[in-house]
Structure 1
Amino acid sequence: MRLSKEWFTALSEDEKGQLVTVCGREELTEFVKSGKFKERVEISWKFEGDEKGMPSDELAEKMESVQEAMAKAMEKDKLAILTGVYTGGGEKTWIFYTRTVRVFGERLNEALESFELLPIEIYTEVDPEWDEYLDMYEMKQWAVD
């Protein structure tokens, strides 16, 4: 299975009407069909957003560094795949599908050890059908170029 580097970006709104940027990964059909990535991990970082609910440039850069560290650690041997990123409404959420939550947690701690303590929350759910990814992928029809 080859991991795509193709992403789409779509715009949405949260329940308060604030802008949410949705970045979704393309070409993951083989991973979905493999049945190996049955658990979904959502990592959320709440922040004080600007008037549009988006992070400051400085915070956005820090979040990008965190994202790069997590993706590199998880995807090096395909333990987990970063499938989507939601930013807006005072929150950034990264969605991963993983083979095992236990090992994901261990590797997450290793990946983030060079950062000071981050204000993140982690939610996991068994999602063998990739329901969240498929719902998010439907937003591709509103992708921005």
Structure 2
Amino acid sequence: MKIEAANTDAWNIAKGKNPQKPTVLRFRPSLRAHLGNEDYPRRLAIIWQFEAVDATGMPTDTQSADMKDFEDMLIDALDPDRLAILAFVFTSSGSREWNFYLSDVSEVGIRINKALSTIPQLPIDLTVEDDPNWDELKQVFQLCQ
């Protein structure tokens, strides 16, 4: 079964609080059929810390637009050949976290660096973890049932 493109796949949105601040979780329900896909045994988390201007901890419209442009850039770099699969995006308390599943960490790094080379430096951190069973995405599905 083929994995749908991130920009044409259906996305669900779940809203909540953590513990007193709002949270927004976007995820792709179609990826349930791909949990534990052997072609993507690692998870990349890209975290953008932003300055929250009010007590909600959510981004301003300008910050949201900048993060949307960044997400589009990531999808353009990683999604056409499904080098990495954007599975879910979590926003809360002054940060947004994009979670991708991938196998070739080196090539993903090359493509992200190339995409970022044309813009000013962003306040992001990247981490890669082994997650062959897609446990983080399983937790998303469990939380959003």
Alignment TM-score, normalising by the size of structure 1: 0.90
4+ runs of 1 displaced by more than 4 Å? Answer: none
TM superposition shift of 1:14: 2.6
Indicate the SS of the match to 1:121.
strand
Q: Is the counterpart of residue 112 in structure 1 residue 113 in structure 2? A: no
Of 24, 37, 57, the match for 2:40? 37
Q: Is the counterpart of residue 78 in structure 1 residue 82 in structure 2? A: yes
Greater CA drift, 105-114 or 34-43: 105-114
- 1:58-102, Cα deviation, whole Å (9 max, x unpaired): 111000000011012111101000000011210000000012111
CA contact (8 A) 2:36 2:132 kept: no
CA contact (8 A) 1:10 1:139 kept: no
Greater CA drift, 27-36 or 76-85: 27-36
CA contact (8 A) 2:37 2:132 kept: no
Letter in 1 for 2:60: S
Structure 2, unaligned runs of 5 or more: none
Indicate the SS of the match to 2:30.
coil
Indicate the SS of the match to 1:128.
coil
Q: Is the counterpart of residue 55 in structure 1 residue 59 in structure 2? A: yes
Q: Is the counterpart of residue 92 in structure 1 residue 96 in structure 2? A: yes
TM superposition shift of 1:54: 0.5
Of 13, 17, 23, the match for 2:17? 13
Of 46, 50, 64, the match for 2:68? 64
Across the aligned residues of Structure 1 and Structure 2, the Cα RMSD in angstroms comes to: 1.4
TM superposition shift of 1:113: 2.1
- 1:20-62, Cα deviation, whole Å (9 max, x unpaired): 1000112114533531000100000111112200011111100
